[in-house]
Chain A
Amino acid sequence: QQQVKQSPQSLIVQKGGISIINCAYENTAFDYFPWYQQFPGKGPALLIAIRPDVSEKKEGRFTISFNKSAKQFSLHIMDSQPGDSATYFCAASPYNNNDMRFGAGTRLTVKP
């Protein structure tokens, strides 16, 4: 049961462009929304996370935008670089427990 729906499945962006990945959720108990980055042969690694008390969080070139009423959140990667090429997963969980649910992933390719 996919509790977090992610799109697109794959994304190709030119170097220097903006990569945008979207996620939607159903469970209103979710209130912690991380994004994970996974390189081939490696485990996912936390990239950035947000709680719904803010609508946006920025860390370097990575920004999460959060729309609580629409139950949607997105990852923006500014000035995308070839080294950003990886699979990105959104996830969600209730803050007071560890039941983390992941989206299906977006394979990002940044062309030089």
Chain B
Amino acid sequence: GAGVSQSPRYKVAKRGQDVALRCDPISGHVSLFWYQQALGQGPEFLTYFQNEAQLDKSGLPSDRFFAERPEGSVSTLKIQRTQQEDSAVYLCASSLSYRGPLAGGRTGELFFGEGSRLTVL
């Protein structure tokens, strides 16, 4: 596909259940990000990958959150023992390259998927 694809689009989990959210970035995009968007709020950074390397996981709210991108393409965000406060839309974004002085135009533009809406009952 042409864009960032996320699945499932909607997930309802019982409190205490584990969930896994998948992100297929745009082919060839080096950078991949996960954001959490609470209702009526802006996206909050969770974690960042450059290829398969997780360079920043400072936004993960607890050790129940885990993300991986083993082959530098598809990424999975896993939430263990879900809690009600985990209910949110989880957005994945990818970008063509690591943005820096040599990057031009919109090279650093983030392309977002439509998100996975998680509801924890």
Contact = CB atoms under 8 A, between A and B. Distances in A.
A41 B117 CA distance: 9
B14 to A, nearest CB: 24
Interface string B26-46: 000001010100001111110
A69 interface: no
Dominant SS at the B interface? loop
Interface residues of B, number: 28
A42 B43 CA distance: 13
Contacts, number: 64
A42 B114 contact: yes
A16 B105 CA distance: 30
Contacts of A95: 99-101, 108
A42 B113 CA distance: 7
Contact of A98 (B40, B41, B99): B99
B56 interface: yes
Contact of A43 (B31, B98, B114): B114
A20 B91 CA distance: 26
A74 to B, nearest CB: 16
A100 interface: yes
21 contacts: A4-B42, A6-B42, A34-B109, A42-B114, A43-B91, A44-B43, A44-B91, A44-B110, A46-B110, A49-B109, A89-B42, A89-B43, A95-B101, A96-B99, A96-B101, A98-B99, A98-B108, A100-B33, A102-B43, A105-B41, A105-B42
